[in-house]
Each structure stands twice: as structure tokens, then as C-alpha cells.
Amino acid sequence: MLDIKNVHKTFFAGTVNERVALQDINLTLAAGEFVTVIGSNGAGKSTILNITSGKLRPDTGTVSIDGKDVTRLADHQRARFIGRVFQDPMAGTSPEMTIEENLAIAYERGKRRGLRPGVTRKKREFFKEELRSLELGLENRLKAKVGLLSGGQRQALSLLMATFSSPKILLLDEHTAALDPQRAELVSRLTAEVVDRHQLTTLMVTHNMEQALRLGTRLIMMHDGRIILDLDQEQKLKATVPDLLHEFEKIKGVVDDRTMLQ
């Protein structure tokens, strides 16, 4: 479904700040695969997501979605295939607009937008049904401005908006990192449910190793712009947080990364 081939990315090439973000990355996701990505800061996790979403273009290499080469498409052109939830709960929704208007925008993902009314009675019923699955009572607040919601509610709404039009790829960029533990747990649970319900091919970046092991069907670990560990479902089920930490130490040889990863 997603095919990243021989991708290199260097930031600030040719300057003193030159930094290699990705080195010869090859990553293929089968349809329905849910991959969690862990790694220390600067390992290239977010860069992989940004290369996939089209926010960044790779220096070399290609990105294909469902067999179609999308390397040269801008982010909004690829958005037809890609649902995305950002780390910042404020980033995925429009605060000045109502819940139903936000959902109406998401509902039209990648379609030609015309002069039909954005919110119709039929769509509103559908939105209510979908909001009910979040179990946050938002189905009764369709006309509330999204800016009034808490961070957790907004992130749950972002997740719904990113997924309910069944994109080919779902990208999650540390989407629970900015939430308090209780809300993070809720959004984690909703993520597992929604990915399962729509059978979404998912790439999720996280700092939380426990979450990376619990969610998903495959785990990859990154360091210095390379994929250094790739666990399939079976290996992942057996792995523990100390195992992952041990892997990190083996590669890096520095213990203080442990603090960074917790």
C-alpha cells in the first residue's frame, strides 16, 4: 500500500548546519498493516511522516501509494490518499468553526469542492453517528465551536476527521504526546478501534515505547536516519520495553538515551 524506496533527505545541505535526516530508507507497508515507529530525537521519525505526507520532498528516492508514484505531488494533492493527525491538538481542526463544519470539511477529503451546502441534514445524521463512537458526548454539540473543546476532545475529533473517509494511509505523528495520561489513553484506545474498524494502513510515530508495543502489527526503530530494527507481529508480541532499551544501547552505546525515551 505504501512503498518508500531508497529515500535520502538532508537538511541545510552544504552549510555548517547540514544534517542527514534519512539515509537510504526502504519501507513497505502491506494493506492493513499498522506500523509503530520509535527512536530518539532526530532519528528521522517525523521526517519519514513528512516525506510520506508530501510536506517534505526526498532528495532522492520515491514514495508510492497503492502502486502510484506520488513523489512529486504536493501535500494537499496527496491528501486524497492520506489521513493525518498531528502532535499538536490544535493543528488538526479549525477552532473558529463548528464541530459539524469541521467534519463537513473532512468528509469532502480530496473531492472537488463545489457550491453545494457543506452541512446537510443527511450528513449531520452521519456525523452524529460517527461522533457517538467517540463516547465523548460530542454528538450533542454539533454547533459548538471546536476552539471550545479540550485538547483531548479535539484530538479525538481530529482522529475521527482523519479516518472516517477511509484514507489509504493514516499517519499519526506522536498524536497522544501532548495529552495528559488519561486523555492519551482514551485517544490510544480510539486509535486502535478506528484502525481496526476501517482496516487502515497506518504509520504511527511515538515516543512511548509501551504504546509502540501495545498498538499495531509491526514495530520499527530508527536511529540517525536509518531503520535499525524491524519487528513483525510475532516478534513484537514477545518484545518488552527493556528489550527495546537494550537494542538502543547496543546501537548507540550511550545510556542517557533512556531518559530521553521515557
For another protein, the binding residues (CB under 8 A) are 53, 74-77, 79-80, 82-84, 86, 90-97, 101-102, 104-106, 108-111, 113-119, 161-162
In the complex, the smallest distance separating the C-beta of residue 235 from another protein, rounded to whole angstroms, is 33
169-173: strand order across its sheet: 82-85, 169-173, 201-205, 34-39, 218-223, 226-231
Spell out the residues 6+ positions from residue 244 whose beta carbon is closer than 8 angstroms to its own: 38, 209, 212, 213, 221
CB 157, CB 186: distance < 8 Å: no
In the complex, the smallest distance separating the C-beta of residue 121 from another protein, rounded to whole angstroms, is 14
Closer by beta carbon to another protein, 44 or else 89: 89
Closer by beta carbon to another protein, 104 or else 200: 104
Closer by beta carbon to another protein, 154 or else 223: 154
Closer by beta carbon to another protein, 143 or else 258: 143
Closer by beta carbon to another protein, 114 or else 181: 114
In the complex, the smallest distance separating the C-beta of residue 110 from another protein, rounded to whole angstroms, is 4
Q: Label residue 113 exposed, middle or buried (CB < 10 Å: 0-12, 13-18, 19+).
A: exposed
Spell out the residues 6+ positions from residue 71 whose beta carbon is closer than 8 angstroms to its own: 57, 58, 61, 62, 63, 64
In the complex, the smallest distance separating the C-beta of residue 240 from another protein, rounded to whole angstroms, is 35
CB 32, CB 203: distance < 8 Å: no
In the complex, the smallest distance separating the C-beta of residue 252 from another protein, rounded to whole angstroms, is 33
